[in-house]
Amino acid sequence: MRPAQPVPQAYAGETDAAPSVARIGWHDFFRENHLRALIATALENNRDVRIAAARVAEARAAWRIEGSALYPELNAIGTGARGRSMINLPGLGTQSYDVKQVTAQLSASWEIDFWGRLRNLREAARDQYLATEEARRAVATDLVTQVANGYLLEREYEERVAIAHQTIKTRQEALRIMRRRYEVGSGSKLEMTQAQTLLAQAQSALQGLDQDREINRNALALIVGKPVEIAPGPLGLVQDGSDLIMPPGLPSELLRYRPDIVAAEYRLRAANANIGVARAAFFPNISLTGAFGTASSDLDGLFRDGSRSWTFTPTITQPLFNAGRLSANLEVAKARQVGAVADYEKTVQGAFRDVSDALVRRRQLALQIETTRTVLDALRERARLAQLRFDNGRSAYLEVLDAQRDLFDTEQALVQLRRAHLASAIALYAALGGGFVPEVVQPGDSKTGEQQR
């Protein structure tokens, strides 16, 4: 049984009761084909995903091992022995003779699980396996988020570099004019150096953008698992996040779609099952062992009449004294269960905060974009008027310098805000647990960690 959900029943400022966007697979959420291809390549090549898949396979095998203990164990046993024995006979002295024996048996053993010890061990292993599967899903979700954010950064740098190039071209022309004015005596050297400063600032910004873009490409190559080639294009090529419908649903849906919450729930179930294992240790252990076969002194007489043999050995073991070991084991299991409950509640609270933060960030970024666009329109008009005033001799070039600097910085900031708004949609989608639909995999199934559609 799940503990009570330690979070409000709705997100602040959200009244839409539409199903959570987490129900959408990542191939439907991301609509650009190039980005989809990058994500698919990363899921195939990334080493973290491979490690997580190997852990899932290990946990699934451990589940099968624990489950096998519920069934009888059957073994075929064949033995052959040959030796010499000495015997002291009265009046005859010491005599020696050869001893030979050949046996063939079928042996069976079975522990009767009256108290549920083996069943609880199997359930604990099953829940640990499912928790590991959810951990793999969390790794894959995080990987999808990293690839998408890296791709958005690449598009952001592409657009900001284009703005920087255009600004440099404009400022080079301005510097040429100011130098020519200085040479003919209609302008001052101060105005020419101010134009040089303005150009150098744009060139320095471009150099920083080129550096950051290369670092981002290296990070993408590491995530994807191989060098990546991204076709040039501005951020505008990515579908604007403002047209994406992003209903968060109810907090209760986190319990189903958020992989770390589901994993914590499975760990809690495993802790509950381990309490049953510890309790069952107080009761008698009943096991049955039997063997049926033949025995003969010669191999050719192994299956003749009269050579059959059999044994049947029921065993009951009741713990009497173990210096408190069984009680201590039960206390350990109970303490771990209490810790698992706290871990589950903490995970739910952390997930709720992630979603709430993502919702706030997305709303505020949308407002900031609108405000920045208004500011940008005003700055463009200011730059035009400042240039007009300078051309007519009504102001110093410093006014143009300030206007151009503020315009460039705001153009760059607007691109960053647009990218951040797109990234906020990805962050909200991941915080809700989107990307991969939870799926219970049975033992023996070939699925270990491949992407689920």
Nearest to 166 by CA among 205, 195, 193, 213: 205
Catalogue the E-assigned strands of 270-418.
285-296, 308-317
> Residue 380 has what pLDDT?
92
225 and 42 Cβ atoms separated by less than 8 Å: yes
Task: Provide the token pair at 77.
Answer: 């046993």
Contacts 24+ apart (CB under 8 A), 201-205: 201/405, 201/408, 202/164, 202/167, 202/168, 202/171, 202/408, 203/168, 205/164, 205/408, 205/412
For the chain, the 3-state helix, strand and coil shares in percent, each to the nearest 5, are: 65, 15, 25
> Residue 89 has what pLDDT?
65
Domains and CATH numbers, the chain: 21-70+115-283+325-431 (1.20.1600.10), 75-112+286-317 (2.20.200.10)
> Residue 287 has what pLDDT?
87
Task: Say which residue the tokens 């799926």 belong to.
Answer: 439
Taking only the tens place, the pLDDT of each residue in 214-241 is 999 999 999 888 888 887 776 765 654 4
Distance between terminal CA atoms of the chain? 29
> Residue 443 has what pLDDT?
39
155 and 280 Cβ atoms separated by less than 8 Å: no
Task: Say which residue the tokens 């894959």 belong to.
Answer: 140
In whole angstroms, what is the distance from residue 318 CA to residue 299 CA? 42
Burial of 63 (0-12, 13-18, 19+ CB in 10 A): buried
Residues of the chain with pLDDT under 70: 1, 13-17, 84-86, 88-99, 234, 236-245, 295-307, 437-453
Answering whether pTM is above 0.85, one says no
> Residue 439 has what pLDDT?
57
